[in-house]
Amino acid sequence: MKQTSKFICRSCGYESAKWLGKCPSCSNWNTFDEVAVAAPHKNTYAKSASTTLTPDAASPKKLNEIGYENESRIKTGDSELDRVLGGGIVTGSMVLVGGDPGIGKSTLLLQICNYLGNNNKVLYISGEESASQIKIRADRLKTKTDNLMILSETNLDNILYHATDIKPDVVIIDSIQTVFKPDVPSAPGSVGQVREATHFLMRLAKENNIAVFIVGHVTKDGNIAGPKILEHMVDCVLYFEGDRYQSYRILRTVKNRFGSTNEIGVFEMKDDGLAMVENPSEMLISGRPRNISGTTVVCTLEGTRPVLAEVQALSSPTGFNMARRTSTGIDYNRAVMLIAVLEKKLGYTMQNQDVYINVVGGIRISETATDLAVILAIASNYKNFVINHDTIVFGEVGLTGEVRAVSYIDKRINEAKKLGFKKCIVPAANMKSVKDIKGIEIISINTVKDAIEKISGVE
For the stretch 178-204, pLDDT in tens is: 999 998 877 888 777 888 899 999 999
Task: Place 69 in a pLDDT band, splitting at 50, 70 and 90.
Answer: low
Comparing 456 with 5, the larger pLDDT belongs to 5
What residues does each domain of the chain span? 1-43, 70-278, 283-456
Task: Place 70 in a pLDDT band, splitting at 50, 70 and 90.
Answer: low
Task: Place 163 in a pLDDT band, splitting at 50, 70 and 90.
Answer: very high
Query: What's the average model confidence in pLDDT over 207-229?
Result: 79
pLDDT beyond 60 at 341? yes
pLDDT beyond 80 at 304? no
Q: What is the pLDDT of the chain when averaged over all its residues?
A: 86
CATH T-level assignment (fold) for domain 70-278: Rossmann fold (3.40.50)
**Among 235, 216, 232, 225, CA closest to 191:** 225
User: Distance of alpha carbon 330 from its chain centroid, rounded?
Assistant: 15
Give the per-residue pLDDT at 46: 43
pLDDT tens-place string over residues 77-122: 999 999 899 889 999 999 999 988 888 899 999 999 999 999 999 9
Which residue type is seen at 349?
T
**Among 193, 210, 222, CA closest to 98:** 222
Task: Place 26 in a pLDDT band, splitting at 50, 70 and 90.
Answer: confident
Query: What's the average model confidence in pLDDT over 126-131?
Result: 92
What percent of the chain lies above the pLDDT cut of 90? 51
Report for 44-58, 59-73, 146-160: range of highest mean pLDDT: 146-160
Give the per-residue pLDDT at 44: 42
CA distance 324 to 356: 8
pLDDT beyond 90 at 428? yes
Give the per-residue pLDDT at 227: 64
Comparing 356 with 73, the larger pLDDT belongs to 356
Query: What's the average model confidence in pLDDT over 134-145?
Result: 92
Query: What's the average model confidence in pLDDT over 326-336?
Result: 94
CB-based contacts of 323: which residues, under 8 Å, 6+ apart? 350, 351, 352, 353, 354, 355
For 17, other C-beta atoms within 10 Å of its C-beta total 9
pLDDT beyond 60 at 238? yes
Give the per-residue pLDDT at 457: 55
Give the per-residue pLDDT at 377: 95
CA distance 289 to 312: 10
Residue 248 and residue 242 in contact, taking contact as beta carbons nearer than 8 Å: yes
Give the per-residue pLDDT at 52: 61
Residue 193 and residue 155 in contact, taking contact as beta carbons nearer than 8 Å: no
Give the per-residue pLDDT at 286: 82
Q: 283-456 maps to which CATH number?
A: 3.30.230.10
Query: What's the average model confidence in pLDDT over 355-367?
Result: 88
pLDDT beyond 70 at 226? no
Give the per-residue pLDDT at 401: 93
Query: What's the average model confidence in pLDDT over 160-167?
Result: 94
Task: Please state the pTM of the whole predicted model.
Answer: 0.75
Give the per-residue pLDDT at 192: 79
